[in-house]
Homo-oligomer: A and B are copies of this chain.
């Protein structure tokens, strides 16, 4: 008689390789089933990509992977631009931003590069570089911005210190895991909802980091 069931299993990396592989197979299958279920029941379009420990790739997609990915790309490309030009009002989203078709790849790339240039400039300036052309007023704004950043960081440092002081280890598990992978996402916030056509503001994917100078 098997007395075993899924005992209170702590959520952490399984050490034993064989167990890990078995668990991976079973759970991966379960995950794909869940995805298929959700897709069918709710008419959702779902893609799941999994890379195992051993760099093997597994995928599920309710329609075509390519279709979902290009849909994702277009969505992200559109949603990613909130502020490449500081002159523009960030809240007013002109309709044309969401009209990127999959054929507009070249312009999408150009826009992304523009976006990168702007972000690069912002980053550089916060590090005290590329300050040419900023007026005194703008320099003051920049400095103010940065000082607020430092304040937040100081606060966070205290939080982290307390956190480690009183750490419940089960809370650290996932964030530690993510730390190892150098991810910016924390467990609860890695899922985000962004509307396809009409967006009313909230977007977790791309934080508006523009300095608006």
Contacts and interface: CB of A to CB of B under 8 A. Distances in A.
Interface of A: 11-14, 20-21, 23-24, 27-28, 30-32, 34-53, 55-65, 68-73, 75-77, 80, 100, 105-106, 108-110, 112-113, 115-136, 139-140, 142-143, 145-154, 156-157, 160-161, 164, 173-187, 189-197, 199, 201-202, 206-209
A128 B156 contact: yes
Contact of A183 (B50, B55, B63, B206): B63
Contact of A153 (B123, B146, B177, B182): B146
Given A63-B182, A64-B184, 12 more contacts: A13-B40, A23-B42, A42-B52, A45-B50, A56-B194, A57-B72, A59-B192, A63-B185, A116-B119, A127-B149, A128-B153, A133-B175
